[in-house]
Amino acid sequence: MSKKRDHEDKTKELFREATRDARPLRQDRVAPYRQRRRPIPEQSLRDQREVMDRLLSDPYVSPESETGEELVFARPGVQHNVMRKFRRGQFAIEAELDLHRLTAAEAREQLAAFLRTAGAQGRRCVRIIHGKGLGSAGGLPVLKTKVNHWLQQWDEVLAFCSAQPKDGGTGAVYVLLKRK
């Protein structure tokens, strides 16, 4: 052990001897100020999206309402010219979701996932095919009324309207999404 200690003492002595004339450097530079990015509360945002998905409620719809009526909805601030072109089908459809033969619960889940994905991908105009209800009990559209209600609750939806006859007519809707 004493050999090891002698070696350490000699090493320290050599270091002191080598650095005897050394002087601290003067630093006149200041590190640039960089404003830190604000943290993104990713978990909170995921929780909020999950809550919003679950809040898509199903309203009571009387059997007499909604047979073959056209759907139209626009948030305040959507320009009339934009809505006119939108209703005429003059926007390019960038994605499509078909909800035929799904239960209301399945349709709600798929709609929420589809809208989230379309928004994340920067899609602007999408089509959702809900059907006319010809195959449902009583021949009344079940998904049409629910999709109408769900889309109005979704904040990223600026507007929606029934599609042109060539794109499904009253059995489908064009949806205009917010830009990211």
Quick: pLDDT tens for 149-160: 999 998 899 999
Cβ-defined contacts of 131-137 (< 8 Å, 24+): 131/99, 131/100, 131/171, 132/68, 132/169, 132/170, 132/171, 135/101
With CA atoms as reference, report the closest residue to 173 among 146, 155, 147: 147
pLDDT number for residue 1 = 57
pLDDT at residue 136 greater than cutoff 80: no
Q: Indicate whether 38 belongs to any domain.
A: no
Q: Indicate whether 50 belongs to any domain.
A: no
**What does the alpha-carbon distance between residue 145 and residue 67 come to, in Å, rounded to a whole number?**
9
- Average the pLDDT over 7-16 and give the result: 89
Q: Indicate whether 117 belongs to any domain.
A: yes
Average pLDDT score, the chain: 85
**What does the alpha-carbon distance between residue 137 and residue 101 come to, in Å, rounded to a whole number?**
12
pLDDT at residue 50 greater than cutoff 80: no
Q: Indicate whether 25 belongs to any domain.
A: no
Copy the structure tokens of residue 164.
């042109």
Q: Indicate whether 78 belongs to any domain.
A: yes
Q: Indicate whether 147 belongs to any domain.
A: yes
- Return the CATH number at 100: 3.30.1370.110
- The residue ranking higher by pLDDT, 34 or 15, is 15
- Average the pLDDT over 136-163 and give the result: 87
Widest distance between CA atoms in the chain: 101
pLDDT tens, position by position, 74-127: 999 999 999 999 999 999 999 999 998 888 899 999 999 999 999 999 999 999
- The residue ranking higher by pLDDT, 65 or 3, is 3
Q: Indicate whether 49 belongs to any domain.
A: no
Domain count, the chain: 1
Q: Indicate whether 157 belongs to any domain.
A: yes
Query: Count of residues for the chain?
Result: 180
Domain membership of residue 168 as a residue range: 68-177
